[in-house]
Each structure stands twice: as C-alpha cells, then as structure tokens.
Structure 1
Amino acid sequence: MLTPLFGCVAVEPASTQLQIREFQTRTYPVRDSKLVMKALINALQDEGFIVKHANTELGLISATKETNVENPNFALLMGLFGGNEARWRKVAIVECSANVTEFGDETKVRVNFQVKTLDNRGEVMDARSVSDAEFYRQFFSKVDKSVFIQRQQL
C-alpha cells in the first residue's frame, strides 16, 4: 500500500479506558448469572478456548486458546543461519477473563482478551490487550446466541 507515502492517513485516536470498558461489557435482560455463565462458557468453547477456571460464586471465568503461528520455512532458515541464539514466533496464546454479575433484573458480563506470543524457547516475545471494539462486538454476538439457546433450553 503506497498511501502512507503519498497522502495523509487518518489515524484513529486511542480509546479511553472508559470506552474500552464499554465495548468489553454487555448486559443481558435476565437475572440468572449461572445461565449467562454457562452461555459464556459454551461460546468460548465453540471458539476453541479451554476453560481453565470457573467460579459461579464470584462470577469469574478464565480460558485460553493456543495457536501455532510458526512459519516452518522461516524456522528452518533461522535454525540454519541463526545458530543457537535464533528466535522466532512459535505459539500465540489468547487469554480470556470474564466477570459475570447480577445487577437488578439483569446480568452484566465484562470480558477482556490478551494475546501473548511465545518464541521457539517458550519465552514471551510480546503481550498485548485486545482493544478492538469490532472484535468484542463479534464475540458478544456469539454469546448473545448462546444466551438465547440457554434460555430456550435447546
């Protein structure tokens, strides 16, 4: 893409913490945190996450998803030319933390995601929070469907 070389590119300003919290949170018109937690767990499992912890009393869920991001050709080149000190991206781990709370006649869900990239030695190369509103919108769309299914007992 040559646009940055020849023209102005609009850069979106960074979201504030309040804006991030807003798109990380969804409220469901049901006063049943257990039902919503089950729906959330089902949505996470449908996306390939492994639920590590779930505490219905506190309304907390933690889950992870691992993906191999290693490029075999790059790994081979790094191994051949980089010697023992060669490092390359091997695994991406997406971590999810969810908080489910009954609030009046509703149930509020707040989720956040973090992506860690590990190298061929298992060391963290980088870690970043997911702060993309569209990512959360798509995730909550899946949770919405799961809540509907749970409520219908399908």
Structure 2
Amino acid sequence: MRLLFISYIVATVALTGCATTNQRVLDADSGTQLQKRSYQSRAFDTSDKEKVLRATISTLQDLGFVIDRADLTLGTVTGTKLATHRITMTVSVRPQGTDRMLVRANAQFNITPIEDPKHYQDFFSSLEKSLFLAAHAEG
C-alpha cells in the first residue's frame, strides 16, 4: 500500500514537472517566433500574386541568387546563392484580404537560420523597388 502511494506521488510530480517545462518552452518560443515573423514578413498593396512572385524572382536574381524552384500555385520561390558559403532563401506569397499580398522570407546560411533583421530589410527594400518599377512600367 505504501509503495502504491509513493508511486502515485512520484507520477504526479513528474507529470506536473513536464507540463510546467512544456509551458515554459512554449512561452519562451512564442515571443521569439513573433519577432522573427515581424521582420521576415511584409504586406504589399496589390492583389496580383503573379506580379509579386515575378518581382520576387527578379529581386532574388538581382541579389545574386539562382532560382531553384518557383511555384505560382503554392506561391513560393526558393533560390540559392553560392559565395564562400551557401545561402538559401525561400519566399512565400499569399493573399492577405482582397487587396494585399503578404510576403514572407526565410533564409539560411549553410544550415543555420539567418536571424539578423537587416538581411530581411535589405531583401524587402529591393523587392519594394522592383514592385514600384514594375507598376510604373505598366502604366
């Protein structure tokens, strides 16, 4: 009887400890993920997904990337830049409401995620210029 009681106490403490640890992991990670998403994403005032994907491809090429894959249906573009190391960037484009496109970029240096916001700001600045030039070339 005493052994059963001790087993019950140990199991209860173990389960409580796991829940607390899992909660802490989720709490700590959610703020970081939210910060990453904020500098990895940018919304553009257009409903033309194809135009944004074409501008994304042009921007990546202008930055020295070779396009590995582009899929209009999925709204993704992946490119690789080989300098002294391998840099891979995947960009996804999806509608945000009826008149905006949300663009999210994710880059890796070799196999390590790039987390410096400056690299993403540079990409989005170039993409914004490309979209501006494309819009003015049409009209």
What 5-or-longer segments of structure 2 have no aligned partner? 1-28
What's the counterpart of residue 147 of structure 1?
131
What's the counterpart of residue 128 of structure 1?
112
Does structure 2 conserve the Cα–Cα contact (< 8 Å) formed by 1:35 and 1:151? no
Does structure 2 conserve the Cα–Cα contact (< 8 Å) formed by 1:49 and 1:65? yes
What's the counterpart of residue 93 of structure 2?
100
SS in 2 for 1:138: helix
Cα deviation code 1:86-128 (max 9, x no counterpart): xxxxxx1100111101122101100010011xxxxxxxxxx21
| Corresponding residue to 1:28 among 35, 44, 49 | 44
What 5-or-longer segments of structure 1 have no aligned partner? 1-13, 70-91, 117-126
Higher relative contact order (CA 8 A, sep 6+): 1
1:1-150 matches, cutoff 5 A:
16-67=32-83, 69=84, 92-104=85-97, 105-116=99-110, 127-150=111-134
Percent identity, aligned pairs only?
33
Cα deviation code 1:55-89 (max 9, x no counterpart): 0011011110101x3xxxxxxxxxxxxxxxxxxxx
Q: Superposition RMSD on alpha carbons, in Å?
A: 1.5
1:153 offset after TM fit, Å?
A: 2.3
1:52 offset after TM fit, Å?
A: 0.7
Alignment size in residue pairs: 108
1:37 offset after TM fit, Å?
A: 0.6
Q: CA separation in 2, counterparts of 1:57 and 1:152?
A: 26
* Structure with higher helix content: 2
* Structure with higher strand content: 1
SS in 2 for 1:16: helix
1:134 offset after TM fit, Å?
A: 1.4
Task: Give TM-score, length-normalised by structure 2.
Answer: 0.74
1:17 offset after TM fit, Å?
A: 0.9
Does structure 2 conserve the Cα–Cα contact (< 8 Å) formed by 1:49 and 1:64? yes
